[in-house]
Structures are given as C-alpha cells and as structure tokens.
Amino acid sequence: MIMMTSRQWLATAAGVVILLSLPLFLPNFWLVNIFGRAMVYGVVALSLTFLAHYGGFVSLAQTMVAGVAGYAVAMMAPTAIPLGPLAMPYFAAIPLALLAATVAGAIVGMIAVNTREIYLLMITLALAVGLSLFAQSNITWFRGYEGIRNIIGPEVMGLPFRTPLVFYYVALGVAVSMFLLVLYVVRTPFGLVLQAIRDSDRRAAAIGYYVGLHRIASFALAGFIAGWGGVLITFYNIGITPSSIGLWATVAVLIMAVIGGLGHPLGAFIGALIYTVMDTFASSIIGHDRFNTLIGLVFLAIVLLSPDGVWGLGKRLSTALGKRPQVNADRETSL
C-alpha cells in the first residue's frame, strides 16, 4: 500500500523543498512570470495528461473547461469591471467556479463519451472553439471582446493576491495538490477502473463496469483540476477575454502536455515551464520578427528527439545509465 517508491518520495520531497525555497534566490519576475505562470498553466495541462495517460483519450476541451471556471469567477468577482449582477465575495465565487468547471467537464464527457481518437479530438476542439466564439459575441454575460477586467483575486492574510510571494506560493500549493491528487486517484478503485477501460473497454464492461459512466466521471474530475488552473490564470491575467480560451490557448496547453511528455503527470509541468521560458525569452534572443520560428523549432526538436516528450527522454536516459535495472521499478505499487 505504498503510493510511490522511497526513491520517488525522496525526489518529490527534494523537489518541493527546492520550489519552496526559490523565492530566496529568484527575482519576482522569475517567481511570478516564469514559475508561477508555468505552474498555473501546468495545472490545465495536467488535466489533459491525466485523461490522456490514464484514460487513453486526448481532450482538446481542457482549456475551454478552465475558461468556464475563469469566466465563472470573473462574473462573480466582487472587484470585476464591469461588475456583474452575481457579484459575491471571492471565498464563495472560487468554489462555485470550480463547481462550474467540474460540471462543464462532465458535460464534455457526456457529449464525447462514445467517441475515440480523431473523433474525440474533433468534438472537443469544436466545443472549445464554440465556447470561445460564444464568449466573443455575447455581451450580456461574457462582455464580448473586452472580456471582464480587474479580477485581482482575494486577499491572502491581508496581502493582495498579486503580491509575488502570495501568488507564487498559492500557485505552488495548488499545483502540488493537483499533482498529488492525480497520483493518488490513479491508485484508487476509480482510477484503476479508468486505466482498465483504457486497456480494454470491452473487458471492463464484461466484468461489470459501466464504461460510459466512468468516462464521464473522469472528464468531471479533469474539469475540476482544469478549473483550479482556470481560476488562477484569471487572477494572473487580472481578467479574462475570449482569446484566453480560444484556439491558440488550446494549442498552447496541448503543446505543453506533449513536449513535457504525456507519460507522467510531471510532464505537464515540465512542458509548461519550457513553454513559458520559450514564450518569454525567444523574442529577446532572436528578435520580434522570428521568435515564433525559434519556438517552433525547439518544440519540433523535442518531439522528434523524444516522441514521449522531455519526461520520456529523462526516463530513457536514466535507464541507459543503469539506474533502473528492472522493468517495473519505476512503477508505483498500489495494493
């Protein structure tokens, strides 16, 4: 009944200690705009990796589901400009936004439940683009192109949410919690059934599991995870606009998940960090006209070198160096 091997526990603990102490070494720009941003987008990518790795389905609707939470918290935020009719304190708005994302995830699941592979991609992409276009054209609730501004988040221990240390530690807390949540859930009966359905849905049904319902539930859980990301992204951007849930944002999250590696939840965060660093610095390295080319080439190189992303590359390197002689050594024992 161990969740991880002792070496994995050690590595996780070391990682958390390093992340906790980063504010001692790094300027605020790095804390907030690189690590903080990577962690909140990483949470959305994590929801995609969770569905892809353990459920076997790649959903392009995760950014949209995060956007549902983002828009929900913005519509209910007490500081919103323009202020909506639903304005309420943040402590009530945030849980409701998470609930909205969970429900949105379940609805995506219900719509996509009988589709696989390319058809699932197309349906979830259509849902993502659909909501973004709707937000763009709806003035009453979504405020059209302008979106909703001044979503500054709640005060934490008397400090504004946007204080670098506050934002960094909240983002870290949420990212680590969601990461551990995924690692935990996949060892529970629910998570094992999800993997069983991935490996053989017919057999899962033949031993008595209602495959469709499990699929929908996993989309709901992924919606909850993405919702956390959506809320924090909205605080990070101090508001939300249709473009933050549009096609480019959807592709960005997919890129993070893929270059980081879909084989492990950690890949989502590795990918998000690489993406954020590239997105931030490419223009200063190569100039404003060509920076997208550089980003594209780096991502292409990663995917060509290692189809399972940076995580897969690291895993193969450590196997090659003889650190993990057994086939199953890197696998957590669950029962």
Partner 1 sequence: MSASPSHSSELPALMLEGVGRRFGALRAVSDVTLRIEQGERRAILGPNGAGKTTLFNTICGDFPPTSGKITFFGTDISQLKPHRRARLGIGRTYQSSTLFSGLSVRENLYLAVRAMKPGRFSLLKAGPGHADLRRVQDLAQQVRVEHILDTRIDAISHGQRRQVEIGMALAGNPRLLMLDEPAAGLSAAERPQLVALMAELPRDLTLVLIEHDMDVALANSEKVTVMKDGEVVVESTSDKVADDPMVQAIYLGEGH
Quick one: which segment of 145-153, 167-175, 208-216, 314-322 binds partner 1 (CB under 8 A)? 208-216
* Single residue of 187, 215, 264, 315 touching partner 1 by CB under 8 A: 187
| The binder of partner 1 chosen from 180, 217, 294, 313 (CB under 8 A) | 217
Does 334 bind partner 1 (CB under 8 A)? Our answer is yes
Shortest Cβ 187–partner 1 spacing (Å):
6
Spatial distance between the Cα atoms of 6 and 264, rounded to a whole number of angstroms: 18
Distance from C-alpha of 121 to C-alpha of 111, rounded to nearest angstrom: 12
Establish if 195 lies at the interface with partner 1 (CB under 8 A). yes
Selected binder of partner 1 within 209, 238, 281, 283 (CB under 8 A): 209
Q: Binder to partner 1 among 91, 140, 202, 321 (CB under 8 A)? A: 202
Give the Cα separation of 67 and 79 in Å (integer). 18
Q: Residue 315, interface with partner 1 (CB under 8 A)?
A: no
Residue 111 corresponds to which amino acid?
I
| Intra-chain end-to-end CA distance of the chain, in Å | 5
Of 181 and 303, the one with the shorter C-beta distance to partner 1 is: 181
- Min CB(217)–partner 1 separation in Å: 6
Nearer to partner 1, 32 or 182 (CB): 182
The packing angle between helices 117-137 and 247-260, to 10°, is: 140
Report if residue 180 touches partner 1, rule: CB under 8 A: no
327 binds partner 1 (CB under 8 A): yes
- Applying CB under 8 A, which part among 33-41, 123-131, 181-189, 225-233 lies near partner 1? 181-189
Stretch that binds partner 1, among 22-30, 58-66, 314-322, 324-332 (CB under 8 A): 324-332
The binder of partner 1 chosen from 143, 214, 264, 315 (CB under 8 A): 214
Please report whether residue 118 would count as binding partner 1 according to CB under 8 A: no
Q: Which stretch binds partner 1 (CB under 8 A): 133-141, 170-178, 211-219, 311-319?
A: 211-219
Q: Which of 198, 215, 264, 315 binds partner 1 (CB under 8 A)?
A: 198
State yes or no: residue 134 binds partner 1 (CB under 8 A).
no
Integer Rg of the chain from CA? 20
User: What is the DSSP annotation of 131-173?
Assistant: HHHHHHH--TTT-GGG-EE------BTTB-TTSHHHHHHHHHH
Q: Does 331 bind partner 1 (CB under 8 A)?
A: yes
Q: Find residue 159's DSSP bridge partners.
A: 156
CB of residue 299 to partner 1, shortest distance in Å: 27
Q: Round to whole Å and give the CA distance between 52 and 95.
A: 26
Q: Helices 211-236 & 90-112, crossing angle to 10 degrees?
A: 140
- Cβ-defined contacts of 299-306 (< 8 Å, 24+): 299/255, 299/259, 302/259, 302/274, 303/258, 303/259, 306/261
Burial, 92: exposed, middle or buried (Cβ in 10 Å; 0-12, 13-18, 19+)? Answer: exposed
Matching residue, tokens 């807390």: 173
- Calculated CA dihedral for residues 3, 63, 40, 46, nearest 10 degrees: 20
3-class secondary-structure state, position 92: helix
Tell me: does residue 193 bind partner 1 (CB under 8 A).
Answer: yes
Question: Could you say which of 9, 145, 190, 248 contacts partner 1 (CB under 8 A)?
Answer: 190
Closest contact distance (angstroms) between CB of 273 and partner 1 is: 27
Binding site for partner 1 (CB under 8 A): 1, 185, 187-190, 192-193, 195-196, 198-200, 202-211, 214, 217, 327-328, 331, 333-335
